[in-house]
Amino acid sequence: MFEKLIKKLKEGISKDEFYNLTKEHYEGFDFNAIYDLMKFQGLPLTEINGKIYLKTALIPYDEAEYTVVDLEVNNSKPKEGQAIEIGAVKIKNLKPVDEFSFLIKATDIPKYVTKVTGIDEEMLKNEASQKEILKKFRLFLGDSIFVAHAADFDYNFLAKQFEKENLGELLNRHLCTITLAEKTIEAQRYGLKYLKESLNLPNEVDHRALGDARTTTRVFLKALENLPEDIITAEDLIEFAQPKKNKCKKKKEKRD
C-alpha cells in the first residue's frame, strides 16, 4: 500500500483517492483521521488546492528539514533487542539547529556492546524506558527526512521498536549517507570513521549515538556540495541516494 501511495503522492492525488488507498490499512478511520495520523507518524503530507502531495516532492532539497540519526543497540535483531541510546541532529536550511541525545533503560547489555560503546547496565539503570524516549523522539523527528549512515538498519530497527511499544508506525521519508557519499565523495572506503578521517572532520566520540550523528551530519552536508545539477527537490535527493545491493541494511557498514 505505502509504495503505491508514495508514488502517487509525488504527483498529487484527490482526497477520495487518498482515502481509497489507505482505508483498508486504517480500517474504521475516516479521511481526516487517516490524514492526521499519517502526518503524526512522519509522512510529510500537504494539501494544495484540494489535492494531497508529498511535501518532499515540492520543496527544494536545501530548504527541507532533515534529522540525522544514530542508534546504539543491545542486539542488532529488532525482535530481540532494543535501542540503548539515540542521538540525532536536526538540520534546517542545511544548517544544524538542534540535537537530541538520550540513553535508554536496559538490563541486558552484552560485553561486546560495552566494549565497543562504553555503555553498560549501570549507566542505564536509572534512565527512562525505551517507550518514553521514543515518544520524545517522535516529537523531535516530526515529518522531517530521516538520515543515517546505514539508514535501512537504523530506520527499520526504530520502526520495529515503535511497533513493539505500541506507538504506531514510522513513516518518515529516509535516505542513507553511505550511498549518497559513494555518489558524491571520492574515497577508498565509506565507513563513517574512515570518512571522518579522510575528510578531516572534527573529532567526535566514536560508537556513541550523538557523536556519530554529528559526524554523519558533516558527511551529509559535504555530500550535498557535490550533487548533480538535476537534483532539485528533497524527493529528488531521496531517490538519488537509493542504495544498491543492500549496502545500508547492515550496521557493520557504519563501523568499518
Rounded to whole angstroms, how far apart are CA atoms 58 and 65? 13
pLDDT at 250: 57
Cell for 134? 521514543
* CA–CA dist 168, 142 (Å, integer): 14
100 neighbors 88 (Cβ within 8 angstroms): yes
Kindly tell me if the per-residue pLDDT of 253 is higher than 50.
no
pLDDT tens readout for residues 163-216: 999 999 999 999 999 999 999 999 999 999 999 999 999 999 889 999 999 999
pLDDT at 249: 62
Per-residue confidence (pLDDT) for residue 206, from 0 to 100: 87
pTM: predicted TM-score of the whole model, two decimal places: 0.94
The average confidence (pLDDT) of the chain is: 94
* pLDDT grade for 2, boundaries at 50, 70 and 90: confident
Percent of the chain with pLDDT over 90: 91
Q: Alpha-carbon torsion 74, 166, 47, 17, what sign?
A: positive
Residue matched to cell numbers 502517487:
8
CB neighbourhood size of 77 (10 A): 9
